[in-house]
Amino acid sequence: MQLKRVVVTGLGAITPIGNTASQYWEALLNGVSGCDTITNFDPSKFKTRIACEVKNFNVGDYFEVKEAKRLDRFSQFGLIAASEAIEDSGLHTANINKDRVGVIWGSGIGGLSIFQNEIRDFFRGDGTPRFNPFFIPKMIIDICPGHISMKYGFRGMNYATVAACASSTNALIDSFNYIRLGKANAIVTGGSEAPITEGGVGGFSAMKAMSERNDDPKTASRPFDANRDGFVAGEGAAGIVLEEYEHAIARGAKIYAEMIGGGLSADAYHLTAPDPSGEGVILVLNDALNDAGLDISSVDYVNVHGTSTPLGDVAELKALQQVFGENAYKMNISSTKSMTGHLLGAAGAIEAAATILSVKNDMIPPTINHETFDPEIDPKLNLTINKAQARVVNVALSNTFGFGGHNATVVFKKFIL
C-alpha cells in the first residue's frame, strides 16, 4: 500500500528553561542551564539536592482551582504543552473530523506525587483508609491523553506509551505509523513527567545514577565531559501535532518539518546499564535509517540521548561511529539534556521538538558545560560544544534510551512540497 506522508503542524512545551515552545528554543540556542537547588521539597538530607525544575509555574495561570485538584503535576504539564501545540496547529478551530484525531502520550512514571503523598498520609494516620477519590485517576499514566481528548473532543485512538525514558519517543513512532497507514488524519503526541519528589529523587539517587554536584548546579549536567558524575532530573512536557500531509495542506496549516521514520530495539542486557558494545543502539539507528529510506550520508544532526552518565555517553557515541563511519565526523551531535536535564519519559518529546526546530531553523543547539575532554571519546566528533552552530539541517535524528534496555529513534527532514 502507498504510505501517507506525515508532517509536524504544531509544537508546545513547558520545560526547565522555558514555559512555551518559543521560550524553550531561544534558551536552547543561548545555552541556558535549567538546573538549580530543588524547591519542590526540602532536599537538605538528600545526596542529590539539585534538579531542573519548571520555573515560574503558577497552576492558577492555567487551570481553575477545581480542575487543578483533579490533575497530578505530570498531567498539568501535559495539558499545557498539548494545548499550546493544538492551538499552534490550528486544529482547535479547524473544521475537521474529530473521530480521526487521536492522542498518544508518553510518560515513564506518571502521577508520582499523588502516589507518594497518599501512601505517606495513610501510614502516618491511624490505619483508617482515607484516600483522595482522585488518587487513582490522578496517578495513572493514561489519564493525561484522556484529559487532552476530553478537552478538545478528539475521539480517535487514545492511549499512553510506557518505555521508561523512551516513552514519548514510542508515542511519536506509534502516532507516525497510524497516520501513514491511514488510520488517523492527525494525532496529538508527546510526553510529560514530574519526577522531582522525595521518592523520585531518592530512588534515582540510591541507584548512584544522579549527579551530586550540589555546589555548582548550573554545570551539573555535563554530557561527554570527563568529569560528569550522573544525570540531572528534569520535569515538564512537550506536545507535537503530527498530521497527514494532504489533510494539513487542505486546511492551510503551517508545516515545521516532515517525520520520515522511526526505529525501535532492545538491549536485552541489563536493568539500568547500557550494553557497552552498543549493539542495541546500532540496531535502533539502522532500523530508523532503513524505515526512513536514508543512507548514512544524509544525516546532518543527531540529538543524542546523552544523559551525562559515565557509561551511557561513551556507549552511544561509539555506536554512532560504528553506524555512520566517516560521516560521524561530518554531522553535528549535541545533548540538549546539558540544559534541560533528563525529563525521563518526557525526554523524547522535548528533544524531538528541539530536533524539529533545528531542521526548521538550520541551527544546532549546543552541548553546554563541556570543560575537559574524555579520553574515551573521539575528539574529532563535532559535539557542538558550549555554543550553538548554524548549518543547513536537511535531516536530523533524535535518540532516547530507557531503563530496561528500551531504545527509540525518530527521523525528521526539512519539509518540501
CA angle (396 as vertex; 389, 15 as ends), nearest 5:
70
Phi, then psi, of 399 in degrees rounded to 5: -105, 140
Q: Tell me how far apart the alpha carbons of residues 149 and 141 are, in angstroms, rounded to a whole number.
A: 14
Mean pLDDT of the region 247-256: 98
Q: Hey, which residues are catalytic here?
A: 165, 305, 342
Give the Å distances, CA to CA, from 363 to 24, 26, 324, 388: 14, 11, 21, 7
Q: What pLDDT score does 350 carry?
A: 98
> What does pTM read for this prediction?
0.97
Q: Which of 213, 182, 238 is nearest to 1 (CA)?
A: 182
**What local confidence, expressed as pLDDT, does residue 4 receive?**
98
CB 409 within 8 A of CB 320: no
- Whether the CA torsion 328, 380, 30, 170 is positive or negative: it is positive
**Alpha-carbon distance 115 to 19, whole Å?**
25
Question: pLDDT tens for residues 277-318?
Answer: 889 999 999 999 999 999 999 999 999 999 999 999 999 999
Positive/negative CA dihedral, 32, 33, 37, 38: positive
CA angle 409, 176, 288 (to 5 degrees): 30
What share of the chain has pLDDT > 70, as a percent?
100
pLDDT 10s digits, 259-271: 999 999 999 999 9
Per the CB < 8 A criterion, the answer to whether 143 and 75 are in contact is yes
pLDDT digits (tens, 9 = 90+) for 309-345: 999 999 999 999 999 999 999 999 999 999 999 999 9
Strands 158-161 and 363-364: unpaired
pLDDT, residue 273, reads 86
**Distance (Å, rounded) from C-alpha 389 to C-alpha 92?**
35
Average pLDDT score over residue span 150-175 = 98
